[in-house]
């Protein structure tokens, strides 16, 4: 997917910890050719930095609403970011 480069921060709330949400996110991001990271937050949400072609980032945002089997997403908050993304997609502990 080509187009303008975009970087966003995402926070996903609901039943998103203990259901392999981070592993699923990393796999989906890699399939879309994205870079960034994903991590669990203390409040039970999952945070991510997602970078890549605008169309791929938009597709990933849509997928965040689905998540893996067992996830129940109640909210996805997105904000544009100016961070530098890593060259790959990482799970941060």
Query: 3-state class of 20 per DSSP?
Result: coil
Which strands form 72-80's sheet, in the order they lie side by side?
72-80, 5-15, 46-53, 35-40, 89-92
Whether residue 69 lies in the annotated active site: no
Whether residue 40 lies in the annotated active site: yes
Strand 35-40 with 89-92, pairing: parallel
Q: Is the dihedral of CA 64, 40, 75, 21 positive or negative?
A: positive
**Active-site residue identified among 22, 26, 31, 69:** 22
**Active-site residue identified among 39, 40, 63, 90:** 40
Q: Would you name the residues annotated as active-site residues?
A: 22, 40
């Amino acid at each position: 997917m080509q187009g303008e480069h975009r970087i966003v921060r995402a926070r996903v709330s609901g039943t998103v910890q203990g259901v392999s949400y981070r592993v699923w996110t990393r796999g989906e991001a890699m399939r879309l050719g994205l870079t960034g990271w994903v991590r669990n937050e203390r409040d039970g949400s999952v945070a991510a930095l997602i970078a890549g072609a605008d169309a791929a980032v938009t597709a990933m945002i849509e997928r965040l609403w689905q998540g893996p089997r067992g996830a129940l997403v109640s909210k996805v908050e997105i904000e544009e970011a100016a961070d530098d993304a890593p060259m790959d997609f990482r799970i941060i502990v």
